[in-house]
Amino acid sequence: MNYHLELMIKKLLGADIAERNFAIFPDDTFLVSYPRSGNTWTRFLIANLVYPNVDVSFKNIERLIPDTSSQSSRALRRTPRPRIIKTHEYFDHRCRKIICIVRDPRDVVLSYHQFQRKYRHIEDGYPLVKYVDDFVSGRLNSKDWGTWGENVASWFYTRGKSKDFLLLRYEDMMEDPVRELARTATFLGIDSDPARIEQAVQRSSADRMRELEKTQSADWVATKNHRTDIPFVRVAMSGGWKEKLPAECVAQIEAAWGETMVVLGYELVTPTLPEQAHQIGAKLTAASRAKQEVR
């Protein structure tokens, strides 16, 4: 009852966390991704692009590109339109204009493992193999984002072909951030002047973000009151899984989401999988029909 009373007062004041319960406008753009897929970096890139005269930092990022999981419905209402809103939510049909960031789930899981240690969602010695199993089966101690496969697929296969949908791969952004930010600028209808893009990329570099995190971690809602010995801005690289992720974990992830990974351009390495992955659709169709016949 106390919890509900508190929630009621918060709702009255508009101080409740927005999550999926806030008013959406037709000119909103949503920056969607599964957690640990480069969303914060992209927020900095876009904020620096859109507001070239603002010193973008962890102190003001929530005002510039608010996060639905930490900001109140009132804060979102007060964000000047057209808004760019960050979210990790799975498909929400009310959102029209979408920038969707995806990252290789084999890297996502490594990053998430560290992140959940930082947040003390898991103990330091929590075995990676067990963590990967939780990650694949949807048993993480985190908010309701669904599994990586559910979350990514729910956006990509409903909206992937829409002209109001821009897919950014974290790996492509690492390879050529200027190129990818220029695409984003065009999508947002912003002048993609090379100097402006270049400046935004430099102001959002991993080194600069690490420096900002050192001095501002107490000022940012996502890092304050969390342990500081594990940084939020981590290795900022792709392909770390090739060295750090045990083969059995790689196989488990590829078996679960191989089809979607292939469609997104992530090459599978499990020996028995690659060929299968390309025929997987056919087999699944046949199998699911057969299974239903049997039932």
Enumerate binding residues for other proteins (CB under 8 A).
4-5, 7-9, 11-12, 20-21, 90-93, 138, 144-147, 149-151, 153-154, 156-163, 259-260, 263, 280-282, 284-286, 288, 292, 295
Shortest distance in whole angstroms from residue 7 CB to other proteins: 7
| Cβ proximity to other proteins, 166 vs 233, nearer residue | 166
Shortest distance in whole angstroms from residue 18 CB to other proteins: 13
Rounded to an integer, what distance in angstroms lies between the CA atom of residue 199 and that of residue 45? 9
| Cβ proximity to other proteins, 52 vs 146, nearer residue | 146
Residues β-bridged to residue 67: 86
Shortest distance in whole angstroms from residue 176 CB to other proteins: 24
- What sign does the CA torsion over 40, 46, 50, 53 have? positive
Shortest distance in whole angstroms from residue 32 CB to other proteins: 13
Q: 237 vs 55, 69, 129, 270, CA distance in Å? A: 25, 25, 21, 22
| Cβ proximity to other proteins, 35 vs 177, nearer residue | 35
Question: Tokens in use for 53?
Answer: 């005269």
| Cβ proximity to other proteins, 63 vs 96, nearer residue | 96
Shortest distance in whole angstroms from residue 71 CB to other proteins: 18
- Helix pair angle (105-118, 128-137), 10° resolution: 110
| Cβ proximity to other proteins, 81 vs 295, nearer residue | 295
Burial class (CB in 10 A: 0-12, 13-18, 19+), 289: exposed
| Cβ proximity to other proteins, 188 vs 263, nearer residue | 263
Shortest distance in whole angstroms from residue 157 CB to other proteins: 4
Shortest distance in whole angstroms from residue 294 CB to other proteins: 9
Is residue 152 within a helix (H) or strand (E), and if so which, with residue range? helix 148-159
| Cβ proximity to other proteins, 83 vs 159, nearer residue | 159
Question: Tokens in use for 99?
Answer: 């920038």
Rounded to an integer, what distance in angstroms lies between the CA atom of residue 144 and that of residue 251? 25
Rounded to 10 degrees, the C-alpha dihedral 5/6/11/14 comes to 150
